[in-house]
Structure 1
Amino acid sequence: MSDDFFGELYLRSTLPFLSEEVTAREAEYLARAFADVEGPVVDLGCGHGRHAARLNASGALAGRVVGLERDPLSLRLRRPGFPVVRGDLRALPFQAGALGGAYAWYSTLFAFTDAEHMQVLREVARVLRPGGLLVFQTVPWERLAQSPGAAFSQRLPDGSLLEEESRFDATRGRDVGQRQLTLPEGRVLRAAYAIRYYPLAELRGLLESTGFSMAWVHGGLDAGPMTPDSTDLIVGAGLRQG
């Protein structure tokens, strides 16, 4: 994944689509998921902190959420109300067993190579306490395989033009694309990206090989089962004892 993708381009092109209503529903799901988890919980790749700020303010996770983010612009623009650490998913800046839980949204864990994804999950396993919980959201491999090509063009509220094209290779499980944002003053932000999507059986094997057991699979924020029509794949994975 290009470092140019996360930063001004990502923030400007995604924030218009992340309403407070969507954020509230996602935060409610996470609060329920971690209701019985003790200790600190880290938002892996917290971005500008739309989940972390809300969860840390009230409810089951109040005062227990810490953000982790690598992009300096996201850190400068983050919402107030939660502590944050600058760091890399592949080398988490936390002591072994320091955290009760971790979560990541929008395929954040899978923007690297297969070997690095194993490294990321091993790092998460290292920093969690025995019995700790990892929750992450991504897109079902099956959904992308059904519609492997995508193209998008839309004028954003600030007048910017967002254009994107991507192609999913089902054999490699990798969605490769390019996003371009033309700002009202004419400046152009452009970057390529590649995100890995795993069939469910392969994802289960990846988790088990890095110390986790899959606890649940949901097809949406209503916590229902995944179906062929599901737009989300939300996984809860517990750290195995011993």
Structure 2
Amino acid sequence: MSFFGELYLRSTLPFISEEMTAKEVAYLAKRFEDLQVPGPVVDLGCGHGRHAARLNTEGPLAGRIIGLELDALSLQERLPGFPAVRADLRSLPFRTGSLAGAYAWYSTLFVFSDEEHVALLREIARCLRPGGRLVLHTVPYERLAAQPEASFSTRLPDGSLLEERSRFDAARGRDEASRRLTFPDGRVLSGQYAVRYYPLADLIQLLDFTGFSMCWVHGGLEGEPPSGTSTDLIVGAELRHG
């Protein structure tokens, strides 16, 4: 089965608090509030729309958000308040130069091969207008390298058992994991996934190679600089003119 479907949705939502969502939405609103480029802003991999629904309702991006998601179940269960399209990140259904901005949370863009990541970022660049803004959220490479193996087993509020094991290969920059979700009725969902984590210098180089100029790097939602203990790595970039 596809990992980024029901398994991901059912095993992730219980860990996302209202407070966390509010802080992330506030961060995104602040980082786009001075955007001068006209046009829509797309939530790449919007899931059930916890960011998009709020950003499209109030604040500087009200009425400008479009969600994009491949998983049909997530779109079916998405929150009201924003339009969304079902599409693959690697083939965006937008006209060239039609978007003012885009954002992607939780390493959404980096679940493919290195070659596909180049093509994907170029596809985003194709859709953005010059000066359009891209915000990427991921996890610092150094944090994973310091703790390359992890596992956990926990009960979710509905009684389901969630189990996961992961191992980070620092040489390849890939975190590979398996997840298993056992529902109270005995139904089981299981799958594997891999996420590519780039050292910051490599990520900046990748963005530059695909037409972007870095504007800022933050290690958290307060806008603090990244450090060896940061839990987040958030990069803001703009599409270069010409």
Structure 2: gaps spanning 5 or more residues = none
Instruction: Say what the alpha-carbon RMSD is for the aligned residues.
Output: 0.7
**Secondary structure at 2:153's aligned position in 1?**
strand
Residues 1:161 and 2:196 aligned together: no
Q: By how many angstroms is 1:127 displaced?
A: 0.4
Distance 1:55 1:152 in 2: 33
Q: By how many angstroms is 1:152 displaced?
A: 1.0
Distance 2:6 2:68 in 1: 18
Q: By how many angstroms is 1:19 displaced?
A: 1.0
Which residue of structure 2 lines up, in the alignment, with residue 19 of structure 1? 17
Which residue of structure 1 lines up, in the alignment, with residue 199 of structure 2? 199
Q: By how many angstroms is 1:141 displaced?
A: 0.3
Query: Identity percentage over the alignment?
Result: 70
Aligned pair count? 240
Distance 2:18 2:94 in 1: 30
**Secondary structure at 1:204's aligned position in 2?**
helix
Distance 1:47 1:108 in 2: 10
Which residue of structure 2 lines up, in the alignment, with residue 124 of structure 1? 124
**Secondary structure at 1:109's aligned position in 2?**
coil
Which residue of structure 2 lines up, in the alignment, with residue 28 of structure 1? 26
Residues 1:58 and 2:62 aligned together: no
Which residue of structure 2 lines up, in the alignment, with residue 101 of structure 1? 101
**Secondary structure at 2:163's aligned position in 1?**
strand
Residues 1:136 and 2:153 aligned together: no
Which residue of structure 2 lines up, in the alignment, with residue 4 of structure 1? 2
Which residue of structure 2 lines up, in the alignment, with residue 69 of structure 1? 69
Q: Which amino acid aligns with 1:98?
A: S
Distance 1:101 1:93 in 2: 15
Distance 2:34 2:216 in 1: 15
- Output the TM-score relative to the length of structure 1: 0.98
Distance 1:34 1:222 in 2: 15
Distance 2:44 2:105 in 1: 8
Q: By how many angstroms is 1:7 displaced?
A: 1.1
CA distances 1:107-137 after superposition (whole Å, capped 9, x unpaired) = 0000000000001100110000000000010
- Output the TM-score relative to the length of structure 2: 0.98
Q: Which amino acid aligns with 2:12?
A: T
Q: By how many angstroms is 1:39 displaced?
A: 2.0
CA distances 1:7-30 after superposition (whole Å, capped 9, x unpaired) = 111111000011111111000000
CA distances 1:186-235 after superposition (whole Å, capped 9, x unpaired) = 11100000000000111111000000011110000000100111000000
Distance 2:86 2:192 in 1: 23
Within a 5 Å distance, the mapping from 1:214-229 to structure 2 comes to: 214-229=214-229
CA distances 1:142-197 after superposition (whole Å, capped 9, x unpaired) = 00000000001110000000000000000000000100000010111000000000
Which residue of structure 2 lines up, in the alignment, with residue 88 of structure 1? 88
Q: By how many angstroms is 1:68 displaced?
A: 0.3
**Secondary structure at 2:63's aligned position in 1?**
coil
**Secondary structure at 1:108's aligned position in 2?**
coil
Structure 1: gaps spanning 5 or more residues = none
